[in-house]
Structure 1
Amino acid sequence: MSGRIGRGCRVVAALLTAAVCQSLPAQAAALPGPVTRATGVVTWAASADRMSEGAADESYRMIVHTSVGGSGLRVRVTNAFGDRPLTLDSVWAGRRDHGAALRHGSNRRLTFGGARSVTVPPGAVVWSDPLPGTLPPGTDLAVSLHTPHAAGPATGHGMAMQTSYTGRGDHTAEESGADWTGTTGSWWYLDAVSVRPSRAAVRAVAALGDSITDGWHSTTDLNRRWPDYLARRLNTARTDLKGVANEGISGNQVLADGAGQSALHRLDRDVLSLPGVRTVFLFEGVNDIKAHTGVTAAQLVAGYREITRRAHAAGKCVVAATVGPFKGWPDWDPAAETVRRQVNRYLRTTRDVDALADFDRVLRSPYDPERILPFFDDGDHLHPNDKGMQAMADAVDLGRLNCAR
């Protein structure tokens, strides 16, 4: 099984890399500067997935919360799951004041290779040109874009745990929120933001995970996912790791596609292609275990090793987290619990990864270690509440997020 996983992963990785690097239309390709890759450090990111049909003449104002601060802000727009070219004819970025309204004077147009519009081929991503000025850490950034004639499958992130805004027609340049009459709980056509920190040594952590990393059952609009708490810790700590990219997808698995592409299949696009990533934080596996597809601990370990091998080959550190308890969830049974314990035994003893975050020990009840501690349980016996999310982030040894690799 491990050989089949490795070969399949390398094939998909090659296809993804080819898609990311494919040429832009002649109009954009003739303009100066690279547009498919960015320098700097990622300050926000969300995993891309296939969404519902795109809407023509629609504006989206996405609210995203940054981690590391810096200058030269760039955004990455994505058509990774589109089946036709995506044109964005107006893209702006500004600091959010409240709701859909922006701070006066903060909204500025983004360009792509010097052009005000960009056409993104199917399967590709494109970075904007850098904006002048400095963005503080922990900013509510509003990225507004207009799709003049979008159709077919859209690309975005379905479960944002953040309210963003929509409007008919092009309202991207407006600082007022008056014409943003719709709301959405998703991020559309946007999957990363980067900045250039004031110190060249600053780097980022990318959290590769499932719904717990995605923040399910944390409080919407308050940035209480565990990677958010980790970002706040890093911001005040004496460390060169300041950026955090949240690459969680609800329901995601390490081995199998389903709720998004598997961690193996999306690693290159969602993590390794992001600028300034120093550390891959791998916290995933519970969905493979509870899916009742017969996945064994050995197969899941093979998946972890493949992700680790590819991350190390890219010069990244790898921190792995143990799989948390989920007794009481409808899919729990003793066989799944056995696999979970075998996987955690491997993670606690292996030298394959550079460090361990023992989230199982943090979350489990001392009275029944197969269950999440009630104080941290959101009620479904799998997902932590806000307190549980904070406890997970607080348990991460910041000094072990970096490595000598």
Structure 2
Amino acid sequence: MTARRTPLRVLVAVLAVLLAVVLPQAFPAVARAADTGHDVVTWAASADRLGEGVADRGYRLVVRTSVGGADLRIRLTNAFGDRPVTFDSVYAGVQQEGATLVRGSNRRLSFGGAHFVTIPAGGTASSDALPGRLSAATDLVVSLHSPDAGGPASGHGMAMQTSYLAQGDHAAEESGDPWSATTGSWFYLDSVSVRANAATGAVVALGDSITDGWQSTADLDRRWPDYLARRLQRADTEVKGVANGGISGNKVLADGAGQSALNRLQRDVLSQPGVRTVFLFEGVNDIKAHTGVTAQDMIAGYREIVRRAHAAGKCVVGATVAPFEGWSEWDPAAESVRQDVNTFIRSSGEFDAVTDFDRILRSPYDPERILPFFDGGDHLHPNDKGMQAMADAVDLTALDCT
């Protein structure tokens, strides 16, 4: 009898292990049939052209999550490529220091069950879900390698974050030794999402270099959306995810430094999962460019963004354009447009809520200038203190109009 019972116990134990390991991967629909959660963006950076792609190059990209959850997914972009690009090795891990990862944290991502993906010119690709939980405020590291990259590379130019480069495929390695070169850009990585509670939502900050974080301290996550993410994590609110949709030099109406806010709204904002609110803080680059843009032109652009966001079921928070006298392109005519635009944002009632960044940042003694305490030095971009003051000015309850 003893000889017959032992194999049965072993069989049951082996079967239990196999079910625990295989079911979540082989039968995701069954495993999640009762799951009422949904994907929510936890990090994003708007894409633009980043020079020429380099074949057989690896990228170790450091990003910081905003909302925690399970089943991490990433989205890769070839939005500005003129040919397909293949990624044959893509991993996600946790930063220990520099390019070195926490031991045992680096795990391979798949795409449609395969360990490689080819993205057509102009396209994006989302990974399969990676089982396991990812905490908020994690220094996530996405390592990827392309054997054939060429032509225009896509990604985010001004990361304000150090990432790492290597020649050859070292994506699986947790050691930082092969990653001897650094970069201040995020190549090919478009966004990261997690599966969170069904009530959890995200906000995307659609903006320019101020939102992108210029003049904040690099590698310390002191952009105003970063401060906002920290506030949301501590707050009793369902909006927890924060995606940064800023591009330095970006305009509402015209392409140039990235596609205009109007032209990139769908890709950079509305297509991100779990987005509940669009936070629109943009316009100074249109106004100071001296191209004949009027306040009515700007208002028409804002109205179109609001219309499209509302049609997609999103809230829209409008932020007033901050002061910039002292910047080389300031003049009284541009200031007049700014004042008219801000009057519309404050009083039109077309936004679901308004955050008055102009009031927060301006000097009480010279309201056309940034308060010196908040000035990053160029009279346009706030410093770390100014970034924090902006985030502190956001009414967190206004980020959810549902």
TM-score, normalization: structure 2?
0.91
> SS where residue 40 of structure 1 aligns?
strand
Query: 1: CA distance between counterparts of 2:28 and 2:353?
Result: 38
CA contact (8 A) 1:95 1:139 kept: yes
Work out whether 1:64 is the aligned partner of 2:59.
no
Give the Cα separation in 2 of the matches to 1:53 and 1:171.
21
CA distance in 2, matches of 1:308, 1:39: 25
Runs of 4+ with deviation above 3 angstroms? 31-34
CA distance in 2, matches of 1:333, 1:271: 32
Tell me the alpha carbon deviations over residues 22-67 of structure 1, each in whole angstroms, 9 at most, x when there is no partner: xxxxxxxxx9999xxx950000000000111000000000000010
**SS of residue paired to 1:105:** coil
The CA deviation at 1:85 is: 0.4
- 1:226 corresponds to: 224
Superposed displacement of residue 149, structure 1? 1.2
**2:308, 2:349 → 1: CA distance?**
15
Alignment of 1:55 with 2:54, yes or no, is yes
Q: Report SS of the residue matched to 1:160.
A: coil
Query: Aligned AA for 1:394?
Result: D
Q: Determine if contact 2:38/2:198 at 8 Å carries over to the other structure.
A: no
Determine the structure 2 residue equivalent to 1:94. 93
Give the superposition deviation at 1:200: 1.4
Alignment root-mean-square deviation, CA: 1.4
Q: Which of 199, 206, 211 does residue 204 from structure 2 map onto?
A: 206
Quote the Cα distance in structure 2 between the aligned partners of 1:234 and 1:274. Answer: 19
Report 1:317-336 matches (<5 A). 317-336=315-334
- Corresponding position of 2:160: 161
- Among residues 386, 392, 395, which one is paired with 2:393 in the alignment? 395
SS of the aligned residue for 2:301 comes to helix
SS of corresponding position for 1:318: strand
Aligned mates of 1:348, 1:169 — CA distance in 2: 53
Distance 1:231 1:51 in 2: 27
Q: Which structure is larger by alpha-carbon Rg, 1 or 2?
A: 2
- Mapped pair 1:186 → 2:181: no
Which deviations, in whole Å up to 9, do the C-alpha atoms of 1:339-376 show, x marking residues without a partner? Answer: 00000000010111100000000000000000000000
Q: Percent identity?
A: 72
1:257 to 236, 255, 258: 255
Aligned to 1:304: 302
Superposed counterparts of 1:63-82, under 5 Å:
63-82=62-81
Partner of 2:243: 245
Deviations 1:103-144 (A, max 9, x none): 010000000000000000111111000001100100000000
- Equivalence for 1:172: 171
State whether residues 203 and 276 of structure 1, in contact with CA within 8 Å, keep that contact through their aligned partners in structure 2. yes
Other-structure match for 1:285: 283
Report the CA distance between 1:163 and its aligned residue.
0.2
Alignment partners' CA distance in 2, 1:33 and 1:344:
49
Secondary structure in 2 matching 1:344: helix
- Measured against aligned partners, the alpha-carbon deviations of 1:252-307 in whole angstroms (never above 9, x if no partner) come to 00000000000000000000000000000000000000000010000000000000
Alignment-mate amino acid for residue 113 of structure 1: G
Equivalenced residues, count: 370
**Alignment map for 1:32-47 (pairs within 5 Å):** 40-47=39-46
Contact 1:301 1:343 in 2 (8 A): yes
Aligned pairs for 1:335-374 within 5 A: 335-374=333-372
Distance in 2 of aligned mates of 1:336 and 1:262: 19
User: Unpaired segments of 5 or more residues in structure 1?
Assistant: 1-30
Please list the CA deviations of residues 217-265 of structure 1 after superposition, one character each: whole Å capped at 9, or x if unmatched: 1000000000000000000100000000000000000000000000000
Report the AA paired with residue 93 of structure 1: A
Counterpart for residue 126 of structure 1: 125
Q: Is 1:324–1:359's contact at 8 Å kept on the other side of the alignment?
A: yes
1:4 aligns with none
Q: 1:209 deviation in Å?
A: 0.1
